[in-house]
Amino acid sequence: MVKQIAFSLALLITLGVFTFTVLRLISYFRFTKTGFPIRDLPKRFMVMLDVAIGQTKIFRHPVIGFFHALVFWGFCVIIFGSIEMVIDGLSGLERSLKVLGGFYNVIMASGDVFALVVAGSIVIFMIRRLFLHISRFEGIEMKKKSHQDANIALSMILLLMLSLMGMNAAYVELQTAGNEPVYGVYPVGNLLAPIFSGLSLSGMHVAHEFFWWSHILLIFIFANILPYSKHFHVFLSVPNTFLTRLEPLGKLTNMDDITREVKLMLDPNAAFEAPAADAPVSRFGVKDVEDVTWKNYFDSLTCTECGRCSAVCPANTTGKMLSPRKIFMDLRARMKEKGPGLVRKGMEYTDNKSLLRDYISEEELWACTTCNACAQECPVNINHPTLIVDMRRYLVMEESSAPSGLKTMFANIENNGAPWQYSPEDRLLWAENLEMKVS
């Protein structure tokens, strides 16, 4: 009974803190703009299965991608054991899901093996981060805090796996020594069980309880650390791939206000609903966090900071300032800074700063070639160019700010109807005196 009360209290605190954090993040979304409609659900589901569950983009780096996929799949299996622990903790039962019979044996055996596999993979990840100095883990946006965040998360996952293996091994030895049935199959647990053979039955029980509490409390702590770290993608990567923008990567969306004006010029009688007289004047493009779409912000929360986007960016690899990863890390950081003020005071709140220039420079934005290599490579389907283009739209349409070469092109389009500095009347001069054979 004491165990049930202690567990219930720990679970209540965990859920309370997690709910508070998530609701705070959700409150920021109401200050973003509407994105694309969520349609074609079957196609979205297939994209989610392919990219998130199948981890297909991860395998573009086949060796390390394989280990990452093992970690993901391992968590998918081990979560069943975590659910059982919650049921046991609340009900006071032991191995409550054993009623599943053969399926229970398969799940427990898979989770036990994956605990070892995941632990081994995590050790490999930690060696790479600490000793191999992978280039894509570096960059001006990768501060000391980012590296500490990764190391803490990897360490906690390793402790989770070690505690799970210890719990299973102690359980097997305890049940065997006490001539009690062992529910489930534990291949790794059977190998490690002799570690506890020198203990008395009460000692084995204490060892099992120690690992049981260690494992479940680490889960609770880890769950509440995730929303404050890049590892929030543990929760968000699957829904983010489901919410993928399904249009071709190179397609740039039109701005509704501009489309309306163009159609009105072409057909003044077009049946468009006129904006209300007191409607606020919309901003062209993105200057600050309240101008981004909800999907942009969702992408920023999902970003794994893996650096695959920046590693394939032609601007970044040729020494330009642009790092696609930094764009979304900056968006996340800016919303974290401004979001609380928006919640308190509404859209009128300003801190005299903005995402543009205070976080992201014009030079970074204009370095983008919109090749979409970043979006193609991102393992969680973040679409970086959509935000970059919208910020450039603000610069051009609100501030008339653009590189000199582009300004010349804009002027030529306005005056000559084409990007070139020639009069429309002179466009066919190149064809004069050409002899053409007519069959």
pLDDT in tens, 17-58: 999 999 999 999 999 998 788 889 999 999 999 999 999 999
Q: Apex CA 196: angle with CA 191 and CA 198, to 5°? A: 125
Which of the four pLDDT bands, split at 50, 70 and 90, describes residue 69?
Answer: very high
Single pTM value for the model: 0.88
Q: Which of 327, 234, 251 is nearest to 289 (CA)?
A: 327
Residue 427 and residue 435: Cα distance in Å, rounded? 18
| HSE of 277, CA atoms in CB hemisphere, 13 A | 0
SS3 76: helix
Name the average pLDDT for the chain: 90
Q: Where are the domains of the chain?
A: 2-231, 256-424
Q: DSSP secondary structure string, 227-250?
A: GGSGGGHHHHHHHHHHT---S-TT
Which of the four pLDDT bands, split at 50, 70 and 90, describes residue 253?
Answer: confident
At residue 274, the pLDDT reads: 55
Least confident piece of the model among 100-109, 260-269, 310-319, 344-353: 260-269
Give per-residue pLDDT as tens, 371-428.
999 999 999 999 999 999 999 999 999 998 998 888 888 888 888 888 888 888 887 8
Mean pLDDT for the stretch of residues 427-434: 80
At residue 53, the pLDDT reads: 93
Which of the four pLDDT bands, split at 50, 70 and 90, describes residue 277?
Answer: very low
Q: Which of 409, 396, 338 is nearest to 362 (CA)?
A: 396
Least confident piece of the model among 40-54, 189-203, 269-283, 414-428: 269-283
Report CA 106 to chain centroid distance, whole Å: 31
Q: Which of 243, 227, 262, 249 is nearest to 388 (CA)?
A: 249
Give per-residue pLDDT as tens, 70-82.
999 999 999 999 9
CB burial of 104-134 (b: ≥16 within 10 Å; e: otherwise) equals beebbbbbbbbbbbbbebbeebbeeeeeeee
- Contact status, residue 177 vs residue 98, Cβ threshold 8 Å: no
122: Cβ–Cβ under 8 A, 6 or more apart, which residues?
71, 154, 157, 158, 161
Which of the four pLDDT bands, split at 50, 70 and 90, describes residue 281?
Answer: low
Residue 387 and residue 377: Cα distance in Å, rounded? 16
Q: Compute the chain's Rg from CA coordinates.
A: 28
Phi, psi of 199 (to 5 degrees): -90, 155
Q: Which CATH number among 1.10.1060, 1.10.3470, 1.10.10, 1.10.1760 corresponds to the domain 256-424?
A: 1.10.1060
Element (H, E) at 147: helix 144-177
pLDDT score of 278 more than 70: no
Q: Apex CA 289: angle with CA 141 and CA 27, to 5°? A: 110
